[in-house]
Structure 1
Amino acid sequence: MIKLTIPHHVSGLWIPVLSSNPLFSGSIGAGINLSVSSVALPVEDECTIRLNNQKVFHEQAKDVCEFYKTKVGVTVESPFNLGKGFALSSTLLIAHTLVNSIYAGSSLLNAFQKAHELEVVRGTGLGDVISQYYGGFVIRTRPGPPGIGEAFKIPVKYRVKLIVSSLPYSEPTGKMLERIPLSHYEKGLSLLKKVASSEDLMDYFNAAKEYTQGIFDYSSIPAEILRSPGVVGLYLKKSALIIWVEKDHVTEITDILSRRQLFFMESEISRTGVEIEYSGKPP
């Protein structure tokens, strides 16, 4: 049996870089991978992608099985839903390409490249695959998947306590990208240069907030959280609200979210990227 554990990536800075070849397309930027993960298992004799027992991504599943000449599906359990900003589309495609790659005896690196290609071609993402490959706090400096793009996992100086919430909002990635003006991407590039220079998590949170305030509605965040002295930093990506909170203020922030009946989970920054666990002999 194969078990995959895939961290969720929430990008705070992204600047699209597109070309005629999807493997050389994607985005540069920065983001953090959460210790909150999805778990994926193979489903034999069924070419499907299931998210929390619901079939999704029918065309992508077909593409993957045709590419590997296999008939293997994947079932993924996740605390999140699609379109919320938690890189769930890339999570599903990483899971399906990796499982089929293992069953076909093919390259695991090529599986990540296939997942990235499908993300770009289908318009569901640009830079999540390479970030989830590494895990942790990642700065992306060249677009593309692992083996083609370039990204760096930055050591974090702090013991970071995160509260992750999902606000009542969703938006497909393609629509989000369409409404962002070129001038805002230029601002993002300037912010990215500062973060890449300092490699500091606090600088990243400040830059991510400044960048995403021009894209998403921060008025949807409870005012008590924005005013709280216990919040070290926060940013919003679609509905994904990432709050860096001082340890002594965790209960205060979770109580606010509970009163608002908002979903939340406690998390940290992941220490690892995608993990593959075999029980028994590999297929």
Structure 2
Amino acid sequence: MCEEAPWYFWRRVIRMPENPSFKDAHGFSPGHITGFFAPFYRTDVLRTGSYGAGVCIAKGAWAEVEIEEADQRQICVKIEGVDAEPKVSIYALQNLIPENMRVNARIKLDMPVSQGFGMSAAGTLSACIAVCKILKKRYSDALRCAHAAEVHFRTGLGDVAGIYAGGYEMRIKPGIPPYGIIDRILNLPDETELVLCVIGKELETKNVLGNPDAVESCIKAGKKCLRKLRAEPTVRNFFKLSFEFAIETGLASREIKEAIIELHKIPVPASMIMLGNSVFALVRNRNEKKRVKDVLSSYGSVTATHVWAGF
């Protein structure tokens, strides 16, 4: 499904590709992993977001969208393998679709939800991109609507901004561009992969963001980690600070900590994925990849992916 290269996603053009006869389109969005973060709220959802840092991954979400004229606006979204109502995607599409249009969207996710892989943001953004392609709307409209929906439902604060940046990123100023400011860690290691492992049950982002004590802890630790990363913007320091954040905030379970410590003994950079009961590790060759997989296979399901470098 949707095997065509998502070239239209990564072009920073003024408008999406135009074709007046288009009534269906595909959209793709990479996933996003957050290493550490500090929530930041404003009344304007476009200025709401998070300070922090993360990395885009090639495993993401694919959307296939069909649009036709109708008497009134109708939006139907189906996410493969997910029983929950896709309320985030529906909310975002409501802000893109005219009142006389009917939309059918089918979304396929490469990774599980509520495990920190940014699948809520990726699924919503992929559908928004496909709609913008059909309706000749701006790429920024897709970003804006996806981010607003994520903030509204508290399913994410920085994933859409991180996806916009690509690669390893630092969110210097919260919000979606042009309000948010995102920098990139440019000294990327050559020929590396990320090994991912889901260790525990789902961790709902909104449950953490709705806990005042947890939010205060994340703000304090997240801002401190960001200052340290900006002083030394390397991938290895990103992993080191992400693990410090996981420990300081108390978000890492005993099993998560044990798995990461075992990976550090190999040694490879590794940390907890925010917000999920999952870990990620950087591997540079086949030997490291095998050793990391051998360690993590006793904790949960394991997969590997590449960093999505973006533009």
Normalising by the smaller structure, the TM-score range is 0.7 to 0.9
Task: Rate the CA distance shift 1:25–1:215 in 2: closer, same or farther, 3 A.
Answer: same
Q: 2-side partners of 1:227 and 1:59: how far apart?
A: 39
Counterpart of 1:167 in structure 2 is 199
Change beyond 3 A, Cα 1:158–1:79: same
- One-letter code aligned to 1:100: V
Using the size of structure 2 for normalisation, the TM-score is: 0.79
CA displacement at 1:148 relative to structure 2: 2.3
CA distance in 1 between counterparts of 2:189 and 2:142 reads 33
Asked whether 1:239 is paired with 2:258, we answer no
TM-score (norm 1): 0.86
Given the alignment, which residue of 116, 121, 145 partners 1:114? 145
How far apart are the structure 2 equivalents of 1:64 and 1:162?
30
Q: How does 1:255-266 map to 2 (within 5 A)?
A: 255-260=294-299, 262-266=300-304
Matched with 2:157 is 126
Residue 64 of structure 2 corresponds to residue 41 of structure 1: yes
Distance 2:159 2:175 in 1: 10
Q: CA deviation at 1:129?
A: 0.3
SS of residue in 2 equivalent to 1:231? coil
Q: Show structure 2 runs of 5+ residues with no match.
A: 1-23, 69-73
CA distances 1:8-34 after superposition (whole Å, capped 9, x unpaired): 111111111111111111111100111
What SS does structure 1 have at the residue aligned with 2:51?
A: strand
Contact 1:231 1:243 in 2 (8 A): no
Partners of 2:45 and 2:151 within 8 A in 1: yes
Going from structure 1 to structure 2, the CA distance change for 1:58 and 1:38 (only over 3 Å counts) comes to closer
Equivalent-residue separation in structure 1 for 2:113 and 2:241 (angstroms): 25
Q: Deviations over 1:148-192 (max 9, x none)?
A: 211122213312332111122212212112251524421221111
Aligned mate of 1:230, from 258, 266, 288: 266
Counterpart selection for 2:184 from 117, 130, 153: 153
- CA deviations 1:45-84 (Å, max 9, x no partner) are 5723322254654444443443221322322222322211
The answer as to 2:252 corresponding to 1:217 is: yes
Report which stretch shifted further, 81-90 or 100-109. Answer: 100-109
Cα deviation code 1:230-271 (max 9, x no counterpart): 3321111222311123422221221233344x2111122211
How far, CA to CA, are the matches of 1:61 and 1:128 in structure 2? 14
In 2, the alpha carbon distance for the partners of 1:150 and 1:188 equals 16
Code of the aligned partner of 2:271: Y
Alpha carbons of 1:222 and 1:186: their partners in 2 closer, same or farther (altered >3 Å)? closer
Q: Report SS of the residue matched to 1:221.
A: helix
**Alignment partner of 1:253 out of 273, 292, 303:** 292
2:94 aligned residue (42, 48, 66): 66
Give distance in 2, aligned partners of 1:116 and 1:29. 16
SS in 1 for 2:50: strand
CA–CA separation in structure 2 for the residues paired with 1:162 and 1:113? 29
CA distance in 2: counterparts of 1:216 and 1:64, whole angstroms:
29
| Cα offset, 1:217, TM superposition | 2.9
Q: Percent of aligned positions with the same letter in both sequences? A: 19
Question: How far apart, in 1, do the equivalents of 2:110 and 2:33 lie?
Answer: 14
Does the residue aligned with 1:48 lie in a helix, a strand or coil? Answer: strand
RMSD between superposed Cα atoms in Å? 2.3
The aligned residue for residue 46 of structure 2 is 23
CA distance in 2, matches of 1:204, 1:165: 19
Q: Distance in 2 between matches of 1:184 and 1:171?
A: 15
1: CA distance between counterparts of 2:254 and 2:35? 18
Aligned length: 272
1:103-152 deviations in Å (ceiling 9; x for gaps): 22222112201111111111111011011112100100111113221112
Cα 1:122/1:183, change in 2 over 3 Å:
closer
Choose which of 227, 237, 255 in structure 2 pairs with 1:203: 237
8 Å CA contact 2:77, 2:104 repeated in 1: yes
Aligned counterparts, 1:71-82, within 5 A: 71-82=102-113
Q: How many angstroms apart in 2 are the aligned matches of 1:222 and 1:203?
A: 18
